[in-house]
Structure 1
Amino acid sequence: MNATDVARYLKDHPDFLVEHGELFTQLTVPHPHGGQAISLAERQLHALRDKIRLLEGKLAELIRFGEENDEIGEKVHRLTLGLLEAEDYDGLRFALFENMRDDFAVPNVALRVWNSVLTREGEDFAPVSEEVRFFAGDLRHPYCGVPANLEIVDWFGDFAPHVRSVALVPLRREAQVFGLLALGSEEGERFYSEMGTLYLSRIGDLVASALRRQLG
């Protein structure tokens, strides 16, 4: 009989250890965190304690994620109210930029709009190259990562040389992209390729809806 046979026998006969409970104290195994020998009962107790610590760590992580999501949700809610209360385009732009900078701590914000029914003077409606339009049109989700497109980086003006990571959020009218919201940070890890984009997508939907209401 080998170890596999013994293990299989114990699984097939769960009452064995009940009928031979003295084995828990008579048999010894190495301590999981040291060299001394301990009983099977003590070993099981250590295993349970390790599992409890692991579960406590996962619970604490879930609570932290929940609190972070609640905080982000509150910020998105305030942005939504600001966009809804905006009476004109200037008010909409102010609400968007102020929320991104004050609530989300994004120091650099830029907006470009094209193919709208109404246009205005100002940098938000400055001409955009076909390359950028094609890039934005191909986005299925917000882009997060290094600022690879120099034209978009230049939208940040004097802060452009200091931008190390960006989030680029496409603004859609149904399936057509008509603009791009660009967020820039001096921190290289603020926006990274593996980060979740759920809230960025929702922000893009909110901004696009508000813009369509103002510009057609």
Structure 2
Amino acid sequence: MTNEATAISLIDNNNQSPDNTAVTLFLQQNHGFLAEHCQTNLRSVLEDLLASTPTLLTEIKLPSPPDGVASLPHIQLRILRERLERLTHQINQLRFTAEDNARLDQVLHDFASDLLRTPQRTPEQLRTLLHQHFTVDAVELLRMTDISAQGQQILRGWLDSRTPLCGRLNEAQRELIFDTHFPDTGSAALIAVGNNLAEPDWILALGRHAPDGFNPTQGTLFLRQIGDLAAAFLCPQTND
């Protein structure tokens, strides 16, 4: 009987555990069987299995080496698993971001559609639609011509940049924009509205009671798009 046939007979015994004495005797008589089997048959089986199930390597557990012995395969497997965990986390973050962007795009699309269907282009109507489509606790629209020189000085830093401002307002800015009906613990986004942002016609203020509802770490692209739609709604361009 060949070595391979003998090995098969040892493990194919009506699904019963192989006899320890028979296994020991076989290995004593065939010193090179395990090394040869690992280099040929077992290696081929593992390669085929890993080719069909690439994630298997991240799931199986190898026996630990003896104490004090460094195992290169174990170290490599640990590094590969850690790398896979990082990549999986990054992929999940990208997926969550894509889902959030898709949701925001749909909200912005619905907002734009309702703006186009609205016959009365008034600040009051714009406030109503903003409340309907976005999660905000306060909406204010200030016409620039109604803001005094002192008030514009309070907003000077933001007015010079013309980019949406996100975060906590100081007391003077809060009273100017929201009067006294917005808590000092809230946060806000200020958006310039007009066909020429160097000289905006309006200031659109969105407020949230949560202190971090709007914060400086957030991107401003979405707010810019809201400002563009508000400008098209309130400040239609006229042909000279």
After TM superposition, the score normalised by the length of structure 1 is: 0.69
**8 Å Cα contact 1:163-1:185 kept in structure 2:** no
3-state SS of paired residue (2:81): helix
State the partner residue of 2:124.
93
Structure 2 gaps of 5+ residues are: 1-63
C-alpha distance in 1 between matches for 2:80 and 2:204: 50
State the partner residue of 2:230.
207
**8 Å Cα contact 1:165-1:189 kept in structure 2:** yes
Closer, same or farther: CA 82–187 of 1 in aligned 2, 3 Å: same
Structure 1 gaps of 5+ residues are: 1-30, 116-126
Number of residue pairs matched?
Answer: 171
CA displacement at 1:148 relative to structure 2: 1.8
Q: Percent identity?
A: 27
3-state SS of paired residue (2:229): helix
C-alpha distance in 2 between matches for 1:205 and 1:98: 17
| Greater strand proportion | 1
Counting only pairs closer than 5 Å after superposition, residues 183-202 of structure 1 correspond to structure 2 as 183-202=206-225
Q: Which amino acid aligns with 1:85?
A: R
C-alpha distance in 1 between matches for 2:227 and 2:81: 46
Do residues 107 (structure 1) and 137 (structure 2) align?
Answer: yes
State the partner residue of 1:66.
98
Counterpart pick for 2:114 among 82, 85, 88: 82
CA displacement at 1:176 relative to structure 2: 2.0
**8 Å Cα contact 2:174-2:184 kept in structure 1:** no
**8 Å Cα contact 2:195-2:237 kept in structure 1:** no
Closer, same or farther: CA 131–80 of 1 in aligned 2, 3 Å: farther
Closer, same or farther: CA 133–36 of 1 in aligned 2, 3 Å: farther
Counterpart pick for 1:150 among 172, 175, 190: 172
Deviations 1:81-111 (A, max 9, x none): 1221221233x632x3234323321010000
Closer, same or farther: CA 206–44 of 1 in aligned 2, 3 Å: same
Q: Which amino acid aligns with 1:93?
A: E
**8 Å Cα contact 1:166-1:183 kept in structure 2:** yes
CA displacement at 1:42 relative to structure 2: 1.6
Q: Which has the higher contact order (CA 8 A, sep 6+)?
A: 1
State the partner residue of 1:57.
89
Q: Which amino acid aligns with 1:129?
A: S
Counterpart pick for 1:169 among 187, 191, 205: 191
CA displacement at 1:159 relative to structure 2: 2.4
Closer, same or farther: CA 47–158 of 1 in aligned 2, 3 Å: same
CA RMSD, aligned part only?
2.8
